[in-house]
Chain A
């Protein structure tokens, strides 16, 4: 069974000028352990998709099932229940949004475990810290006292500490510099290899391609292509995908004067 199954999802916002259709019959599924990248540029509806999956935006039509539970109709209390089961966690672009600014790293990491009523909290925290390569000395710090890269690694650690089966990532590396980006991506890759399903939503195909099994291209509210990464990249079908692939700067084709590409 799919871990995440989105079927014919429609979202529109009411505007004074009428309805603004943001997502149109979006269908997407994610099997346990699978990593799917959803790529979309400004106005594609990708943020709305992320927010709708998390229950922050109401779907106009369609169904979103997480681990068999239809979440589109869940009440906040039922959502909390689902999160308590530790099925789904999320990481945003700006860790200051996913971390409580008044909680120390220790409390931020302990909170999801306390909610679950888990035992051996301290042990679990030390283990996860090692996994995201953060020093124990940071446990007493507030998010504001960490560097951007450290903060994002705390946010990832918090998402992982309950060992969720699905992690939703909304632009998790866009705000980071290269060194931190590589570290967070490495971490996500390890997570993927350990069998966690990842839904990686980003505008930047260049930072998603390398860890996604499949790429779904979101354009003007519709998924125009959803195929294995290698196929999307080497043989894009939709005209927009072709334009997108041509546009992404790569080192292979870095030298435009030799369009056949440079030897690996």
Chain B
């Protein structure tokens, strides 16, 4: 059974903004969504997380999360599912952390609330989680402003996987980071997938980021999925003009022009 299944999901404000998104995510699989800001990729993710902004609603289609039709979920049921079944990390890690609390105490808080552990046990688990995202132990006692963007994002990934979710959505999670740091975070996500069987939805404006480890790719523009398919097909036989533009950008202006392929 799929962990996450979107069937022709439409999202509306006063008018329809996302015009039908469908994909299914199997355990341990990776689906990529590529598109500019305003393409509807973030709204789609937020719908799957049950956190659409105010006045936005799912106006058509259905979302099934780990066997639950999300339309029938009460806010309380949603809260129980978030973190333990589906979780997410976003672009600007600093804005999701309290600047006046240590990183460790914030991760431990998530553990305490989500897993119902006592303070001491939560602290130990938080230390383990920070180690699992390759942060040095000293980070536990540090404050957000003392850490680099990459370390903050690692901290948030630690918090996101604290309750062992089955699905992690990474929405432009590496966009604000330096490219060398981005590579480290992408490697970490791939590692977590290997070691825990976590299924991923990777969202980016850069086709090359998404294509790195996705099985299936959705290309979105102006609220519409303009092309969707296995990553090989998207890269080698793109059909839509916009997908071709994304590839052309890399081929003409990126490293690809010079790379010697063996």
Residues of A within 8 A of B (CB): 41-42, 177-179, 181-182, 185, 203-211, 229-230, 233-234, 243-257, 260-264
Contact = CB atoms under 8 A, between A and B. Distances in A.
Contact of A251 (B36, B208, B262): B208
A205 B232 CA distance: 24
B231 to A, nearest CB: 7
Interface residues of B, number: 41
Contacts of A203: 178-179
14 contacts: A177-B37, A182-B252, A185-B252, A205-B179, A205-B255, A207-B253, A210-B257, A249-B179, A251-B208, A251-B211, A251-B251, A252-B261, A255-B232, A261-B262
Given A203-B179, A234-B259, A244-B179, A254 B211 contact: yes
Interface in B219-241: 231-232, 235-236
Contact of A206 (B178, B255, B261): B255
B10 interface: no
Interface of chain B, helix or strand or loop or mixed?
helix
B42 to A, nearest CB: 14
B129 to A, nearest CB: 25
Contact of B249 (A42, A178, A257): A178
A203 B190 CA distance: 24
A245 B206 CA distance: 16
Nearest to A263: B261
Given A177-B36, A256-B213, A210 B252 contact: yes
Nearest to A246: B183
Nearest to B211: A254
Given A206-B253, A251-B207, A256-B213, 11 more contacts: A179-B245, A185-B253, A204-B179, A229-B258, A243-B180, A247-B182, A250-B255, A251-B208, A251-B251, A253-B259, A255-B212
Contacts of B251: 251
6 interchain residue pairs of minimum CB distance? A210-B253, A247-B183, A249-B208, A254-B211, A41-B178, A177-B36
A234 B260 contact: yes
